[in-house]
Amino acid sequence: MAFPQNFLDELIARSDIVDVVGSYVQLTRKGSNLFGLCPFHSEKTGSFSVSPDKQIYYCFGCKKGGGVVNFIMDEENLTFPDAVRFLAKRAGMEVPEEEGDREAGRRRQRLLDLNRDAARFYYQLLQQPEGRAVQEYLDRRRIKRSTAVKFGMGASLDSWDTLLTAMTKKGYTKAELLEAGLVVQNKNGGLYDKFRNRLMLPVIDTRGDVVAFGSRVLDKSEPKYMNSSETPVYSKRRVLYGLNLAKKTKRPNIILCEGNLDIVTLHQAGFDNAVASMGTALTVEQTRLLSRFTKELVLCYDNDNAGKIATERALQILQNSEFTVRVLQLPRRLVNGEYVKQDADDFIKFQGADAFERLLSGSENGIEFRMAQVAGKYDLADDQARVAYCEEVSDLLAELSNPVEREIYTTRAAEAAKITPEAMKLEVQRAFKRRLSREKRAELRRDLNPAAQLQPKERSFRYDNLRSARAEEGILRLLTMDESLFGPEPPLEPEQFSSPLLGKVFSLLWQAREEGRPTSVAALAGALSQEEMNHITAICQQPESPRNARQALADYIRIVQTEAEKRTGGDADPLLAATEKYKNKKGTGGKQHG
């Protein structure tokens, strides 16, 4: 174990899962459990369950589950050791670390310190005569000094090793600079600065750490924009530029844009709720991050084909989510008799903040945008095109789960196609029935193959012997539900389990019992991967009656033994007598190790 087990047990005992999860998710009690909207995927109906008794969470939608440490690992994008440190700080506990773990924590902190010092170095260069070229660029972009300071902007010089030299003088190694992605190695093994002759934009996460850099070149060289590569402290899928500032906004929503400089301009113009993804389309991880700070998103991507594709992808991710989603479409700008695309930065400069505010107030919702995109593909003056439009838009409207929404937008689609609302309604109803029919066929296929439903989601955990595995699941459920069911010695060997994972967990639970530690799923976080924990939590969420638990456990054990004998072709299992003894025990055995 990376940490002493008694420390982990105390940490988990002090970190009540309802309190921890409740600081991220709004929970409502339903029976013995609490439910809320899952922070790990988009949904409108809460399928995320927290069990105070078992100290575990499980989402019936995305199938993620585990204990309090697993939750922090996933929610905060942390490794197991860092999640433990996070919870220890929250609980006011000192972390007793082994040398290897201290080294891993020190290495991560060194990268964060290096990024911070690099950001300070770039910032200082911008204030000096050497950074004049970058300052002139900011002046041309009409970016005020106060705004540059707010975002921590800096300058990288047109030099090969300015940062490399400065950081090595501060005591950072070349290996650390390479790992942080601040320098690049050439074919001969030599190192040089990755960012040269650029405006530097430090990327700061919601905890205030500098995790990466964005940049913009000053001349005509390519690439125009360059971001940090992924590192141990930076994943572009999990970070949004400007969210460290936007999370403090008093506005009711957050605006999603494409470019970092769009964000800078919008904040300067008073729209301090703008953020941008780091060179990637909107990701599920980013929506989870956003859900902590808002329930309304405004998509404001560029009005070119790439921007429209990005908007459509974002709408698909956000479909049926808890977010209210609107789309702000920037109009094209007339330049020398030709209409050209413009981004948020262009619009603010040429049209002003008031004009952007009016666009923001009148932005359309996601379904309106998608309907407009469909209509734009057809010449609605042509009869055949109108028929094709009606077919495609009907499939789109059939996706709406709310019948009132379907009614409203069906009428609008009829107006666009210049047909009667009744005719359009019939087309939408047919599309809706087709969708329901497809879903029913898929459900029927699942129902006709119940064995497939009983198999784990992860293919690597698939059961070779379903009868034995179901009994093995029952054993784990009962042992985690009632500690008195543990006997004086294990009634099975892990090798008798048909599922290696279930045998492993059985062994871990028994080991914990023998050592006098908690026999809970939450306590297994350090010994299981997240995928393994998801599966074990799913098993423990399944119903299991506490009545006649000892008899049920004995029956499960007998099934596992019988199936193990079939696999090995051996004689009667030598543990059969132990099983009978275990079955007849009067409930006192488990207390011997208490």
Lowest mean pLDDT among 61-70, 96-105, 307-316, 475-484: 96-105
What's the pLDDT at 447? Answer: 57
Angle, alpha carbons 185-186-188 (nearest 5°)? 115
Do 271 and 388 lie in one domain? The reply is no
Task: With a cut of 60, say whether residue 583 has pLDDT above it.
Answer: no
Indicate the pLDDT class of residue 496, thresholds 50, 70 and 90.
very high
Task: With a cut of 60, say whether residue 571 has pLDDT above it.
Answer: no
Domain boundary among the residues 64, 91, 118 is at 91
In DSSP notation, 360-416 reads HHT-EEHHHHHHHHHHTTS-TTSHHHHHHHHHHHHHHHTT---HHHHHHHHHHHHHH
Task: With a cut of 50, say whether residue 574 has pLDDT above it.
Answer: no
Q: How far apart are CA 197 and CA 590, in angstroms?
A: 69
What's the pLDDT at 108? Answer: 87
In-domain check, residue 300: yes
pLDDT above 70 covers a percentage of the chain that reads 92
Do 358 and 397 lie in one domain? The reply is no
Return the SS3 of 210. strand
On whether the CB atoms of residues 242 and 275 are closer than 8 A, the answer is yes
What's the pLDDT at 139? Answer: 96
Measured distance between the N- and C-terminal CA atoms of the chain, rounded to whole angstroms: 22
On whether the CB atoms of residues 544 and 579 are closer than 8 A, the answer is no
Do 257 and 326 lie in one domain? The reply is yes
Q: Tokens representing 359? A: 């666009």
Do 147 and 116 lie in one domain? The reply is yes
pLDDT tens digit string along 243-285? 999 999 999 999 999 889 999 999 999 999 999 988 778 988 8
In-domain check, residue 433: yes
What's the pLDDT at 321? Answer: 80
Return the SS3 of 212. strand
Do 206 and 223 lie in one domain? The reply is yes
On whether the CB atoms of residues 431 and 395 are closer than 8 A, the answer is yes
pLDDT tens digit string along 153-191? 999 999 999 999 999 999 999 999 999 999 999 999 999
CA atoms within 13 A on the CB side of 486: 27
On whether the CB atoms of residues 275 and 243 are closer than 8 A, the answer is yes
**Number of folded domains in the chain?**
5
What's the pLDDT at 17? Answer: 96
What is the average pLDDT value for the chain, to the nearest integer? 88
Task: With a cut of 80, say whether residue 501 has pLDDT above it.
Answer: yes
Determine the residue type at 409.
Y
Average pLDDT of span 211-219: 94
In-domain check, residue 561: yes
Query: For residue 574, what is the domain's CATH number?
Result: 1.10.860
Taking Cα atoms as reference points, which of 156, 149, 165 lies closest to residue 131?
A: 156
Helices first, then strands: H and E counts in the chain: 25, 19
What's the pLDDT at 200? Answer: 98
Q: How many CB atoms lie within 10 A of CB 354?
A: 10
Entry pTM: 0.69
In-domain check, residue 494: yes
The bridge status of strand 254-257 relative to strand 183-185 is unpaired
What's the pLDDT at 49? Answer: 95
Q: Per DSSP, which regions of 308-360 are E strands?
A: 324-327, 333-335, 338-340
Indicate the pLDDT class of residue 534, thresholds 50, 70 and 90.
very high
Range of the domain at 259: 240-370
Alpha helices by DSSP H, listed for 170-304, are: 174-179, 243-246, 260-268, 284-290
Taking Cα atoms as reference points, which of 226, 215, 313, 220 lies closest to residue 264?
A: 215
Q: Per DSSP, which regions of 466-505 are E strands?
A: none
What's the pLDDT at 205? Answer: 94
Do 113 and 145 lie in one domain? The reply is yes
Lowest mean pLDDT among 144-148, 361-365, 370-374, 516-520: 361-365
pLDDT tens digit string along 546-558? 888 999 999 999 9
Domain boundary among the residues 306, 337, 370 is at 370
Alpha helices by DSSP H, listed for 23-173, are: 68-76, 80-91, 99-127, 132-140, 145-150, 162-169
In sequence order, the β-bridge partners of residue 49 are 35, 58
pLDDT above 90 covers a percentage of the chain that reads 61
Say how far residue 337 (Cα) sits from the centre of its chain. 45
Do 111 and 205 lie in one domain? The reply is yes
In-domain check, residue 521: yes
- List C-alpha distances in Å: 306 to 243, 257, 337: 23, 13, 23
On whether the CB atoms of residues 49 and 36 are closer than 8 A, the answer is no
Do 25 and 132 lie in one domain? The reply is no
Angle, alpha carbons 393-395-399 (nearest 5°)? 110
Domain boundary among the residues 426, 447, 468 is at 447
What's the pLDDT at 570? Answer: 58
In-domain check, residue 508: yes
What's the pLDDT at 263? Answer: 97
In-domain check, residue 453: no
Indicate the pLDDT class of residue 300, thresholds 50, 70 and 90.
very high
Average pLDDT of span 323-331: 90
Do 488 and 425 lie in one domain? The reply is no
Query: For residue 306, what is the domain's CATH number?
Result: 3.40.1360.10
Whole-number CA gyration radius for the chain: 29
Return the SS3 of 564. helix
Do 142 and 57 lie in one domain? The reply is no
What's the pLDDT at 450? Answer: 53
Do 354 and 262 lie in one domain? The reply is yes
In-domain check, residue 135: yes
Average pLDDT of span 514-541: 90
Q: How far apart are CA 188 and CA 168, in angstroms?
A: 20
Q: How far apart are CA 457 and CA 461, in angstroms?
A: 8
Query: For residue 219, what is the domain's CATH number?
Result: 3.90.980.10
Do 252 and 177 lie in one domain? The reply is no
The bridge status of strand 183-185 relative to strand 154-156 is unpaired
pLDDT tens digit string along 451-491? 556 667 666 788 889 899 999 999 999 999 888 999 888 99
Average pLDDT of span 394-400: 90
What's the pLDDT at 449? Answer: 55
Task: With a cut of 90, say whether residue 103 has pLDDT above it.
Answer: no
